Every structure is written in structure tokens, then in C-alpha cells.
Amino acid sequence: MVLIVLDHAAGTPRRTAFEGVRAGRRLAEALGVPLAGLVLGDADGAAAAATALAAFVPTVYRAADPALAAGGHEARTRAIVDVARSVGARVVLMAASRSGQAVAPRVALRFGGALLEDVTDVRVEAGAIVAERLTYLSRAVATVRALAEPVVVSVKPGAFAAAEASAAMGAVEDVTIAFEESDRVAQVEPAGRAARDRVALEEADVVVCGGRGLGDADAFEAHVVGLADDLGAAVASTRAVVDAGWRPYAEQVGQTGKSVAPKLYVGLGLSGAVQHLSGMNRSGVIVAVNKDPDAPIFKVADYGVVGDVREVVPALRAALAALD
């Protein structure tokens, strides 16, 4: 069986769940094994998510426990390994989100298998599971093969298109997890959530990112957030901007931030340091605005405008508004 861990936020499936379904269907078909989903959460969240996701997989296993809503890696690991064992999973697939990246290695080690981590593609070749992943600060692509089974695969958010619903509605089955005391030692309490008033950074089709070249937090708000609002885009920042305290860390893109691959990425007043590029160089179309014609960002850009962001952005917003 191919078992997909399907993520949701308080019962609403995340886009990565649908991306996981697409990757999972491909593997299940190639291996000739059945496909199932696993939803973890508190009773309400798991119930809502399982109902929504039953349209995408033949079976949804639903594990409900307060420990699973709190997001503790230990409890999630226990639940995934328990279910994967009892259904005899050959492949366990999950999103390489923050939580998925913390849980997948634990599952692989406990399950005695291999881990294909943060993959941008995955397929079956001569019976083996083969994947592609970015390495060396995303400057290279490695093709890797699992040497042991079961195989745990974490899929890079945005690497697969979201799957369509199936023709038939799947079944929802409740599973009970035998937690151990050690699964609950960590106390997790949310300290602050990023404002969710706009589209989530990793799920956005358009990302507007601002750098130190904006000059200050007010100019960032006016130009970067302003253009993002016009485009219905997510807002992102470079580390220099986060370090300066203009924007929250949750918006940082790069090696130590999020990894994004939108259809359109607009980089404003940022230099294009390697650590930043590693978080956005898979974007579809890259636009750069920088006053320095030699800024490294232009090397990876599809379209560039050399100029002062504070002049170019208002002109661009006017030009976008004037498009018929």
C-alpha cells in the first residue's frame, strides 16, 4: 500500500495534501498497490479533513487525539508508524513541510526503511523508488534511489500539481493509536501565528519579495505589500529585512526560511544572495527590480528593470492597472 499523510489546518485540507495525492497515485499505480490516506488531528479537525479528502483516495484512515492536534512530532510519528505497520505500507508519503521534515526521518528510522527527503519528483524505475531532490543550497539536482523498504517520501511543497477528485467517494475508517508516555513529554503551545489574512506563502501562485533596498519598513509596506495586494500575492522577505525587524521571520524565503516555487516571483530591492536564491530559484517566472545592474538576482531573472524600487513599483502598479 501507498499511505499518504494528508495535512490540514483545523479541518481544511492544505494544498500539500492534494499535491501528495498526485504523487501517491503515481507510485501506487506503478507499484500496483492500493492507495490510502491518513488524517491526524483532534476529533473535529480530523473528522472534517477526512470527509473532505475521502473524495481523493479510496480509503482515509482517521486518527483523532488531542496530542495529534498540538503538533508534537513524537505523537505524529507514533500514529504514522502504527498505521503504516498495520496496513503494511510499502511507501509512506508526506509533505516536506516543517512538521513533515521533522517527522519523516523518525518514521523512516523506526520503520526500518529509507528516506527520500524533500523530493521534487518521484517515480518507480525497475521496481525501485527513484526521486529527484535539490542539493548544495539548491544549486544542483540529485537523482537518488531507495535501497531499503519501506520507503518514506517527503514531497517538496509546490513540486506536484494538486490532484483532481476521484470518480468514487472513498471510505473513512477510524484507527486508534496506542500512544506511549514518551510521546507526550514535549509540551507544545502556539506562541504566535502568522497573520493568515492573505494567501499562504508556500501555496501562493504569485510571491512578491522585498529586500533591504526598500530602505525602511514603511517603504516595504507601501511598495512590496502594495504590489502584493494588487496581484493577490503572498509577501516574502529576505533575511536582511527580517534581521532589520521590518517583517516577521515567517515571511523569510531562503536557506533558513521557506522554500517557494510560485508561477511568478517578483524580487524588489534584493541582491540575490545564494542563500536567498536557494529558496526561490524553482519559481516559474522571475522578475527583478534593482538599482544595481550587476546585482546577482538579474542572472536568474526572466525580466529585469534597473532602477529605484520606489519609482519602478508605482509605475508597474499603474501599468498593471491599465492592462485591458
Partner 1 sequence: MTIVTFVKHVPDAEARLGRGPDGLDLGGASFALDGMDEYGVEQALRLREAGAASEVVALALGPARSEEALRSALALGADRAVLLETDAALDPIAQAPALAEVVREAGAKLVLVGGKQADWDSAALGPALAEALGWPLLDWATELAVEGDGIVAVHDVDDGSARWAAPLPAVVTAQQGLNEPRYPTLPNIMKAKRKPLERRPLAAASATVETIHVERPAHARRNVVLDGDVATAARELARRLRDEAKVL
Ligand X SMILES: Cc1cc2nc3c(=O)[nH]c(=O)nc-3n(C[C@H](O)[C@H](O)[C@H](O)COP(=O)(O)OP(=O)(O)OC[C@H]3O[C@@H](n4cnc5c(N)ncnc54)[C@H](O)[C@@H]3O)c2cc1C
Contacting ligand X within 242-301 (CB under 6 A):
252-257, 269-271, 273, 275-276, 279, 290-292, 295
C-alpha cell at 8: 490540514
Per CB under 8 A, contacts with partner 1 among 187-206 are 187-194, 196, 200, 206
Question: What would the x/- binding string for partner 1 be over residues 219 to 238, using CB under 8 A?
Answer: --------------------
**Shortest approach of partner 1 to residue 169 CB, angstroms?**
28
22 or 110: CB nearest partner 1: 110
Per CB under 8 A, contacts with partner 1 among 304-323 are 304-307, 311-312, 315-316, 318-320, 322-323
The residue from 88, 161, 171, 299 that contacts partner 1 (CB under 8 A) is 299
Instruction: Kindly report each contact of residues 237-241 with a partner whose C-beta sits within 8 Å and lies 24 or more positions away, as own/partner.
Output: 237/209, 237/210, 237/211, 238/209, 238/210, 238/211, 238/212, 238/270, 238/273, 238/276, 239/275, 239/276, 240/211, 240/212, 240/270, 241/210, 241/211, 241/212, 241/214
140 or 168: CB nearest partner 1: 140
Per the CB < 8 A criterion, the answer to whether 238 and 211 are in contact is: yes
The residue from 32, 168, 293, 294 that contacts partner 1 (CB under 8 A) is 293
Which residue do the cell numbers 482515509 mark?
Answer: 60
Binding of ligand X at residue 235 (CB under 6 A)?
no
Q: Which residues bind ligand X (CB under 6 A)?
A: 211-213, 238-241, 252-257, 269-271, 273, 275-276, 279, 290-292, 295, 308-310
